Amino acid sequence: MKQKIGFMGLGVMGSPMAANILRAGYPVTVYNRSPQKGEELVKLGAKRASSPKLLVEEADVTIAMVTGPDALAELLWGPDGAAQAFDAHKVFINMSTVPPRFTGELRDKLLPTGVTFIDAPVSGSKKPAEDATLVILAGGRKEDVDTCKPLLETMGKKVVFCGEVGQGSMMKLAINLLLGVMMEGLCEVVNFGKSAGLTLDAMFEVVSNGPLNAALYQMKAASLRENDFPVNFPLKHMAKDLKFLVDTAYDLGAPVPVGQMLLHLYRIGVAQDWGDLDFAAIMKVLNHLNPKM
């Protein structure tokens, strides 16, 4: 018999994720702070809980997908908070993106409740959430992650076991470095190429047809062509993530010379008030250093 699922956080990501669990035949109870959300899930068969605590009482496995540490803390330890109902028979999976350090603190605070805790941020945004093609970065005890794998696979195309609790967040941090490197790298090449008289179209034609091509580049082509950066992942969040990565690397003694340089450049972008643009607007920082463009 399938586990009973409690799902907290019905935003842009959470709603389609919960819907995919429902479609896979799990019984789902949902909770959202503002109750107007979730109507569609109810139509799909979800029950509603009137507090996080009541949601946990109904569920074998509770999933949280909210905007960050503060929202998560509120759900767990606020009035009628989820943590009050956690016990050794229950599982809690945090899929919200939070710093590795916060995940460590979470683990320590949840320990006395006896709840099984899994750390499972996702790689991918709205579209993959809808299409159930997220990549799920899971940290926890191997056997716990294995048990939850069928459930997690209803939301994503891939569940990657990353190590103990906290390593899911750590993986997300590492991958975001590659995201920053590739984005800035493309912009540095395009800015150089334009200075040298190459066209953006010709450069994209070469990249698109060779071994360097990546879906990321295709997603950002229009932004670079039109010098317009509607936000998908805000530049200021990339700066924040790089800061956290550089700090973590410092503690570990791992050299991140390019990561440091990116941090310098993204921080300039924030200082220029471009923090709310998409992180592809790192192009504007390079242009700012190159007034001929």
The residue range among 2-10, 33-41, 48-56, 213-221 that interacts with a second copy, by the rule CB under 8 A, is 213-221
**Cβ-count burial 273-292 (b if 16+ within 10 Å, e if not):** ebbebbbbbbbbbbbeeeee
Let me know if 126 is a catalytic residue: no
Q: Does 255 bind a second copy (CB under 8 A)?
A: yes
Site for a second copy in 165-204 (CB under 8 A): 167, 170-171, 174-175, 177-179, 181-182, 184-186, 188-189, 191-193, 195-199, 202-203
Half-sphere exposure (CA, 13 Å, Cβ side) for 209? 6
Exposure of 117 in the CB half-sphere (CA atoms within 13 A): 23
Measured CA to CA, the distance from residue 232 to residue 153 in angstroms comes to 25
Residue 116 or 167: which CB sits closer to a second copy? 167
Encoded one letter per residue, x for contact with a second copy by CB under 8 A and - for no contact, window 149-168 reads: --------xx-xxxx---x-
Task: Give just the sign of the alpha carbon dihedral 244, 245, 247, 252.
Answer: positive
Which one of the listed residues 172, 220, 236, 240 is annotated catalytic? 172
Told to check if 231 binds a second copy by CB under 8 A, we report no
Q: Which is nearer to a second copy, 43 or 225 (CB)?
A: 225
For 7, the enclosing helix (H) or strand (E) is strand 5-8
Contact between 143 and a second copy per CB under 8 A: no
Q: What are phi and psi of 212, to 5 degrees?
A: -90, -10
Tokens, residue 225: 């062509």
Q: Does 123 bind a second copy (CB under 8 A)?
A: yes
Residue from 44, 214, 221, 231 in contact with a second copy (CB under 8 A): 214
Question: Which residues does the annotation mark as catalytic?
Answer: 172
